[in-house]
Amino acid sequence: GLAWGAAAGTAVAQISGLVAVAKYINDNKGNLTVENYQHLMRLQKTALEDALAGIEMIGITAAQNAAAAAMDVLIKALPGLLLAAI
């Protein structure tokens, strides 16, 4: 809808960053601790939430829900990642 149209550019950039970090985690999974993994994923989730919440028409709850959905899709798409709680 209208809210997504306003947020799309920012969200796409953050999702691209999220995918890049997921690739980094996957490529370096043998060198990352669970704490490193959790930290990287938390940073990306927060960045996506912030990007979406910065759009006036999207509330924080909607931004958190969208970020959580993106994280779930990403984790399911990369089954080799450490599946620690986020």
Each residue's pLDDT tens digit, 26-63: 888 788 888 988 888 888 888 877 777 766 666 777 77
45: tokens are 């989730």
In the predicted model, what is the mean pLDDT of residues 17-31?
83
pLDDT of 67 > 50? The answer is: yes
pLDDT-based confidence at residue 80 (cuts at 50, 70, 90) = low
CA distance readout (Å), 1 to 8, 82, 83: 10, 34, 32
Contact status, residue 40 vs residue 25, Cβ threshold 8 Å: yes
Write down the pTM of the prediction: 0.56
**Predicted local distance difference test score (pLDDT) of residue 85:** 38
